[in-house]
Structure formats: C-alpha cells, structure tokens
Structure 1
Amino acid sequence: MVKKIIPCLDVKDGRVVKGIQFVGLRDAGDPAELAAFYNKEGADELVFLDISASVEGRDTMLDVVKKTAAQISIPLIVGGGIRTTENMKQLLDAGASKVSINSAAISNPAVITEGAKAFGSNKIIIAIDVKWSEEDQEWYVYTHGGQKKTDWKAVDWAIEVEKLGAGEILLTSMDRDGEKDGYDIEITKRVKEAVSIPVTASGGAGNVEHILAAFTEANADAALAASIFHFKETSVAEVKNYIRERGVEVK
C-alpha cells in the first residue's frame, strides 16, 4: 500500500491556526495561500477542518473552502459542522473531494449511511478524536472539537463506522495533538487492525521519524501533520525522501 502525507489546515475565523491538545491556538496563515504552497510541495491530499463550526453550531465556511479548492489540484478533505447530506453536497459542490464527519456521526449515525449512499463511501471520512482514560484504561471518542466525551470506545466506534458505510477513518489522538512527541502508535495500530478501510494517523507528529513510525509500527495508510509543516520545521518533500530511503513506498 502506497502511503500518503497529508498536511492539515485547522481553520478558525477564516485563518489557519494550530494549538496544543485542541487549545491555545496561534495563527499559522491564510488557508488558500497555504493550500497552494502544499500543492506545490507534493502533498498527497489536504485536510481543511473548520474547527469551531460544531461548537458554534454552524455550517462550514463555504467561501473559504471554495477559495482553498481553487488553489489546488490534489484532493481536498473538508470537515467541521457537517450535519446532513445537504451540508455534504454543498461542500462537494464547493470543491471538496471528500467530507470528514465527527460530531454528527455520533449523534446521528444514519448520516454516515445516507452520505455513503448519496455520494459513495469513498467520499465519506469519519474523524475520530480519541483520549486515553487512566481510570478505565481505555481510549474514548470525543466530539465538538474535543469538548464532549462520548460513551464510545475508540476501536468499537471505528468498527461501527465501517459497518455504516464510511470509506476512511481519520484518527486523532487528543493527548498527543500539538505535543510533537509522536503519534499514539498503540491506538492507531489497534484501530488499523480492527477495520479494513484506510486509517490516517493524526496528532503528535514532531519530526520525520514520527511519521515513519506511523507507517512501520502502526501500519497507518496516511500520516497527517500540521505544526511541523506550517512553521517550516520540515517539508513534505523532506518527509517523503526520508521515508522512501527507508524502504516505505510513498506517493
């Protein structure tokens, strides 16, 4: 399986931001400009997450999505505030290649099946934000930008969304997010082993070695990163060269 490198644009109020464990956000630039830059850099796909849409109970910013999509030739995955198939259609019409759903999938799982039927499973990504519970010794799923804990255990929910028709999983470790200590290999590996659809590792990339580990140790299909790319600590090209030199096939 050819692995993919995916930069992530967390967008709030029309600007790209980056925080640690979903809080303490700092500005990282204009979404359309950054998208154009990553397109040239050789990114395989781009994720655009309107991170406050679910919390604020509104739809994703269509105008910003349109501007961003116009700048790139690679697939654009858009998430944040998607509650209905109508929301999905608007985003796909605005230039999104796939949509990513988190909170609405938990509150209304039927929306996964409806979306898969309307647009094809390959267009439906389920974003799963997980956090470790010391008390239960278990990873739980969180919604609303990491603000609400659910009763779903991460692996159980991953199995469920595949059954419902999801085409991919975007798995983010909230504990690792922005910490740059590496992905949570253990939960990524467990989810990957439990499902047959592609799994993207997210949350914690601090260097090229971490991205390699997501592929070699957790068997992730793709690795998503934000800080290390936005703040020019490394580049997509450098990551791809490093991974290729170690015998892992990347796009």
Structure 2
Amino acid sequence: MSSSSRRSLFRPCIDLHEGQVKQIVGGTLSADATASLQTNFVSRLSSGDFARLYRQHGLTGGHVIMLGPGNDQAARDALAAWPGALQVGGGINEGNAVQWLEAGASKVIVTSYLFPDTKFSLERLKAISSAVGADKLVVDVSCRRRGDKWMVAMNKWQSITDMEVNQESLDLLSEYCSEFLIHAADVEGLCQGIDQELVKKLGQWVTIPTTYAGGARDLSDLDLVTHLSGGRVDLTFGSAVDIFGGKLVRFEDLVEYNQRYSITS
C-alpha cells in the first residue's frame, strides 16, 4: 500500500438506550424481550458529555444512534453540544428527518423506514432523500449473515429484510445518499473481531464514504480495515474502548491515530 493511499479512520459513536449512553450486544436487542438484553456498559456521563469529548479532539463523522424509544432528548443534547458535526439515527423517517437536521445533526441516518413490512421501498428512499437532500442522508445498511450472504436487518437488527448487501444494492442506494453506516449485527458488541470478509467486500463495493461497526477490539484493527478495504471503509469502536468501560483499546490512542493519518486522508 503506497504512502499516498487513504487510511481507514476511527469514527466515534454514541449509542442511546432508554436515554442513557450504553454499549449493547446488538444481536440481543428486541422490542419486548428486555430480559434477553445483554448490556456491556452503562455510562454515568451524559450524551452531551461524549459529544463534547469528541468535539474537544476533533473527531468528525460520529453517529448518535437511538436504540428504541425514550432517547429523543438525549440525542438532542448530544447534537446541541456539537451542532453540525454528529449524525443521528434511530426512528428517522420522511416526516421527522428535517427536524433532526434543524436540531443540529450533520446528517440523518435511515434504516427501518426504507423497509415497510421488511420489503425495500425505493419510493420511500426517494422521498426522504428529496426531503433532506442526498448530501444530508446516510443509509444504514446494517446486516446479518445468512449463509454466504449478508442481508439488511432492521427493527433493532431483529428483522431480516429482502435486501442483500452487494454491489447492486449499494450502487442503487448510493444514488440517493452520501454515506453508508454498516453495523455487522452478528458481531456487534462482542469484541471478538470484525467481520473481515464483509469489510473486504465493502472495500470492493462502496463508492461513497462508509463506516463499519462491529467487533473491533484492538487498535491494529484500523490497520486491518485499511488493508482489507483499501482505506475505503472507516471503523467504529464501541465496547472495547476504555471510555465505554472496555479494557482493550485506549481512547487516547484512537485520537492519536486519527491525528496522525487524517491530514493525508
């Protein structure tokens, strides 16, 4: 890899559940079976505190994800702490997307709204893209593995849709948005390693900025994602990081990494 090639960068996150900043094993989320929910970390700090931390260190491209109801105010607090710098997702639709931009989101992230009854709706994609502008829209193509394929998952990653994540689907979606966010739900929150095959495929398929989340557990994963994707995919760390109660990755090391490579990326 030449020295002029782009490096994959760290992208921060704020995951909200019941109004608190948490790190959750993605595959255990459901609408009503809270007893099965596996939570890795619940922060004593507010969403705004994390937004201010990211602002202090100039960590751009971060996303605020509302996992279920009861998170609107916490999301607004994060956006208010760093207006125009954080993306927001979770329950975003054509009707409320503009409101979230007005609340300070840099972009809105959409998933479930695009899949009524788990079926992809190009009409809905066109509608929300028209409402906010493609440059303000991120499509979350979070997925779960089914055999040798990855299928888009919605409804807190519990419902499998009819869309396969592949070159064709990503090309179609990219006509109406400016960025992808991809949670590998099967490994989300487990700190057992990224889905290397998926990251490699994404590097071949994507033509717009893309952030992958799921399984990152070591600072060297940034080098691994750079290698696998050709630097076309950025990486989110969650449960492994010390600011989220993890013991595997130091937040200050991620900051230093971005400072070192973002100038040329």
- Displacement of 1:20: 1.8
Aligned to 1:142: 153
The alpha-carbon distance between structure 1 residues 61 and 174, as it changes in their structure 2 partners (threshold 3 A), is closer
Match of 2:13 among 8, 13, 23: 8
Letter in 1 for 2:67: I
1:158-193 per-residue CA deviation (whole Å, 9 max, x = no partner) reads 233113x11111111112211213321221221332
Q: 1:19-98 counterparts in 2 under 5 A?
A: 19-23=24-28, 24-25=38-39, 26-29=41-44, 30-53=46-69, 61-72=71-82, 75-84=85-94, 86-98=95-107
The alpha-carbon distance between structure 1 residues 9 and 240, as it changes in their structure 2 partners (threshold 3 A), is closer
- Displacement of 1:242: 4.2
Aligned to 2:138: 125
1:184-209 per-residue CA deviation (whole Å, 9 max, x = no partner) reads 12212213322311111111111111
TM (norm. structure 1) is 0.84
Distance in 2, Cα, partners of 1:111 & 1:149 = 18
Q: Contact (CA 8 Å) 1:92, 1:99: kept in 2 or not?
A: yes
When you count strand as a share of all residues, which structure comes out higher? 1
Letter in 1 for 2:52: A
Q: What secondary structure is seen at the aligned counterpart in 2 of 1:6?
A: coil
Aligned to 1:153: 164
Q: Contact (CA 8 Å) 1:103, 1:144: kept in 2 or not?
A: yes
The alpha-carbon distance between structure 1 residues 182 and 61, as it changes in their structure 2 partners (threshold 3 A), is same
Aligned to 1:238: 253
Match of 2:221 among 210, 220, 224: 210
Q: What secondary structure is seen at the aligned counterpart in 1 of 2:82?
A: coil
Letter in 2 for 1:104: Y
The alpha-carbon distance between structure 1 residues 213 and 15, as it changes in their structure 2 partners (threshold 3 A), is same
Distance in 2, Cα, partners of 1:215 & 1:112 = 30
Unaligned runs of 5+ in 1: 54-59
Q: What secondary structure is seen at the aligned counterpart in 1 of 2:235?
A: strand
Unaligned runs of 5+ in 2: 1-5, 29-37
Distance in 1, Cα, partners of 2:72 & 2:55 = 20
1:46-91 per-residue CA deviation (whole Å, 9 max, x = no partner) reads 21111114xxxxxx8443232212212561100001122x310110
1:114 aligns with 2:138: no
Q: Contact (CA 8 Å) 2:76, 2:103: kept in 1 or not?
A: yes
